[in-house]
Amino acid sequence: MSDDLGFFCLLMSNGLLIGLMYSLIALGFVLVYKATDAINFAQGEFVMIAGFVAAGGLMVWGVNLWLSIALAIASLVVFGFVLERVMLRKLIGRPVIAVVMATIGLASILRGVGPFTIFSGSKPLPLPIRDEPFVLGPLFIPPIQVLGAVVSLAFLAGFGWFFLKSRKGIAMRAVADNQQVAMAMGIDVERYFGVAWAMTGIVSALGGILWGNLLGVDVNLALVGFKVFPVVILGGLDSIPGAILGGLIVGVVENIAAGYIDPYVGGGTKDFAPYVLMILALMVRPYGMFGKRIIERV
Amino acid sequence: MPGDTPRPLLAVSNIEVIYDHVILVLRGVSLAVAEGGIVALLGANGAGKSTTLNAISGLLRTERGEVTKGSIELHGQAIHRHDPSAVVKHGVVQVMEGRHVFEHLTVEENLLAGAYTRRNGQATRRDLDLVYHYFPRLTERRGFKAGYVSGGEQQMVAIGRALMAQPTLMLLDEPSMGLAPKLVAEIYEIVARLNREEQVAVLLAEQNATMALQVAQHGYVMENGRIVLDGDAKTISQNEDIKEFYLGLTGVGQRKSYRDVKHYRRRKRWLS
């Protein structure tokens, strides 16, 4: 195999694995949007705060790894529930901008609260997996990326099944489709809003642990949240398969861009290439590749 | 039917409904539905038919309305303070006006969503078959997105979905709206069968008085948020005012031709 092809394969494998980890975070965004029509601009901060809790447990309070992970998941679930109850329920029926601004505000608060209450500066979040990458011909595959991809796929499949097959999943989609009719069918609409935010909490917690291991835990961990927007715009705001595909595309595009363009311009393409794609996607297919179209009868 | 049975299934007594704390939309509305009966609630657009149904199902509050006076009782138990999901659990399901289906769910998922309040999976399967038995057209459409099936089929989905909740009383709001006459007849026939074979009582809000009075045993006529006339279906369809204003017939019982309409209108007797 030539060096060129080997380099391309390396970029692709890296991109696909990282892409699935983006999908996991994007899933958090999609769950909330699907069920409640709320756009969560604090998704990255959810991930960051989960990282803070997990790393705090491990490095500051000295509890063991599993307990730290459980703590991160539990606290994010509770946080999701409470947030919906206290803040977002009041905003139901208000203009979209109210929820957008509220979550942007929340993002800033979380960025302050994490370092303020748990620890300041940066801490690692070591997981009991080996550091040396698997070497397969030209490919170097870090174990954490494999773990990330497996966890992401498991949860994406799990939530996919939940929405398609379970009674509660169907009810949740019914709520997303038409709240008033859902209510007329006896579905307790408000409870499902809480459930959606709690599920986002679970996904964000896992994302926080995986990304925290990869990048280290500090305030900048929240920046992975920015990658959510190209992912969900490409895939469709309310589509789980869309989140997977969008994540893969964003992962691949940013790696390819970084591998081939960076040497000429001195770096940085990784951060904006997905957004170029996002804007192009908005011009061609504003509802994403799998997003639900508005059904109109003529 | 006041007087007919000792205690009706549904008794609405003298309710007043106010929207947004200031707009009075219903005044002193009373009506009753007997166990297993079909009652028609007639009236023009804006007469207050939907508001009455929404008051019963509890959906009124989602539209910022409130029952401020009177009571709504099911089996003698007050339900006007219940939220919609509690009302459904009591066996009262509303089929909203304008055939609202969950557009992005398949036909079958729509039906399953209707069974939400019941947790028994086996019974749900059985009811699904029952719905397909009454609406064979939905069998072919079960995997289609409900937003893409025809208007008549959507109305069938909406009624079938309500049936999945195993109601004792179905509140049907304007099932004929926007449908071809043939489809309206088909849907009415199914409603009558459901009533006969499954003992579902029906409160039917309709502008299409001809159709509604054919299936109902009892009727109420609403205007401006009040009930202006009530009686059994036969008596109502014989009423001269009803013939003129709701059935479009002349005094001799022939279909009225609008070519011959004179420039006076009969005065409604109940507006003294």
DSSP single-letter state for residue B63: G
- Taking CB atoms and an 8 Å cutoff, what residues of chain A touch B111? none
**What are the φ and ψ backbone dihedral angles of A125, each rounded to 5 degrees?**
-130, 80
| B30 and B143, same domain (yes or no) | no
- Taking CB atoms and an 8 Å cutoff, what residues of chain A touch B79? none
In this prediction, residue B162 carries a pLDDT of: 93
| B61 and B183, same domain (yes or no) | yes
Query: Looking at residues B48-73, what average pLDDT do you find?
Result: 90
Determine contact, residues B119/B99, Cβ cutoff 8 Å: no
Determine contact, residues A192/A75, Cβ cutoff 8 Å: no
Query: Looking at residues B229-255, what average pLDDT do you find?
Result: 76
* ipTM value for the complex: 0.83
Whole-angstrom Cα distance, residue B262 to residue B272? 23
Query: Looking at residues A152-164, what average pLDDT do you find?
Result: 91
Q: Does the pLDDT of residue B6 top 60, yes or no?
A: no
CATH of the domain at B174: 3.40.50.300
- Taking CB atoms and an 8 Å cutoff, what residues of chain A touch B151? 297
In this prediction, residue B1 carries a pLDDT of: 45
What are the residue ranges of helices labelled H in chain B? 49-57, 84-89, 107-114, 121-134, 136-141, 151-163, 181-198, 209-215, 233-238, 240-242
| B113 and B81, same domain (yes or no) | no
Residue from B57, B105, B142 to probe the interface with A (highest A Cβ count within 10 Å): B105
| B119 and B26, same domain (yes or no) | no
Verify whether the Cβ–Cβ distance A187 to B109 is below 8 Å. Answer: no
Q: Does the pLDDT of residue B111 top 70, yes or no?
A: yes
Whole-angstrom Cα distance, residue A20 to residue A209? 15
| B67 and B2, same domain (yes or no) | yes
Q: Does the pLDDT of residue B146 top 70, yes or no?
A: yes
Name the token pair of B70. Answer: 């009177």
In this prediction, residue A295 carries a pLDDT of: 67
Whole-angstrom Cα distance, residue A143 to residue B53? 61
pLDDT in tens, A213-231: 988 888 888 888 888 999 9
Residue from the list A177, A179, A180 with its beta carbon closest to the beta carbon of B105: A177
In this prediction, residue B3 carries a pLDDT of: 46
**Interchain CB contact of A167 with B (< 8 Å):** yes
| B47 and B77, same domain (yes or no) | yes
Q: How many other C-beta atoms lie within 10 A of the C-beta of residue A236?
A: 25
pTM: 0.82
Whole-angstrom Cα distance, residue A81 to residue A75? 10
DSSP-derived 3-state class of residue B34 = coil
| B45 and B172, same domain (yes or no) | yes
The whole-angstrom distance between residue B191's C-alpha and the CA centroid of its chain comes to 11
| B160 and B176, same domain (yes or no) | no
Integer angstrom CA distances of residue A196 from A182, A186, A230, B101, B114: 16, 18, 22, 22, 20
Residue from the list A177, A186, A188 with its beta carbon closest to the beta carbon of B102: A177
Q: Does the pLDDT of residue A82 top 90, yes or no?
A: yes
How many domains is chain B partitioned into structurally? 2
| B85 and B183, same domain (yes or no) | yes
| B58 and B176, same domain (yes or no) | yes
pLDDT in tens, B159-196: 999 999 999 999 999 998 888 989 999 999 999 999 99
In this prediction, residue B270 carries a pLDDT of: 73
In this prediction, residue A89 carries a pLDDT of: 84
Q: Give the residue from B29, B45, B36, B57 showing the smallest Cα distance to B230.
A: B29
Count of CB contacts below 8 A, A vs B?
Answer: 79
In this prediction, residue B260 carries a pLDDT of: 58
Residue from the list B84, B102, B121 with its beta carbon closest to the beta carbon of A174: B102
Which range has the worst mean pLDDT, B2-16, B46-60, B95-109?
Answer: B2-16
Task: Compute the nearest-CA separation of A294 from chain B (Å).
Answer: 9
Whole-angstrom Cα distance, residue A118 to residue A61? 9
* Boundary residue ending a domain (B150, B166, B182): B166
**Interchain CB contact of A173 with B (< 8 Å):** yes
Q: Give the residue from B271, B173, B175 showing the smallest Cα distance to B223.
A: B271
| pLDDT range class, residue A62, cuts 50, 70, 90 | confident
pLDDT in tens, B186-223: 999 999 999 999 999 999 999 888 889 999 999 999 98
| B146 and B175, same domain (yes or no) | no
Whole-angstrom Cα distance, residue A174 to residue A286? 23
Q: Can you give the residue range of the structural domain that contains B103?
A: 99-166
| B37 and B49, same domain (yes or no) | yes
Task: Give me the numbers of helices (H) and strands (E) for chain A, helices first please.
Answer: 12, 2
pLDDT in tens, A233-243: 888 888 888 88
* Boundary residue ending a domain (B133, B166, B199): B166
Task: Compute the nearest-CA separation of B43 from chain A (Å).
Answer: 23
Name the token pair of A108. Answer: 């800033």
Integer angstrom CA distances of residue B79 from A68, B194, B200: 48, 25, 19
Integer angstrom CA distances of residue A46 from A69, A104, A241, B253: 15, 12, 22, 72
**What are the φ and ψ backbone dihedral angles of B206, each rounded to 5 degrees?**
-150, 145
Verify whether the Cβ–Cβ distance A184 to B113 is below 8 Å. Answer: no
* Boundary residue ending a domain (B146, B166, B186): B166
In this prediction, residue A219 carries a pLDDT of: 87
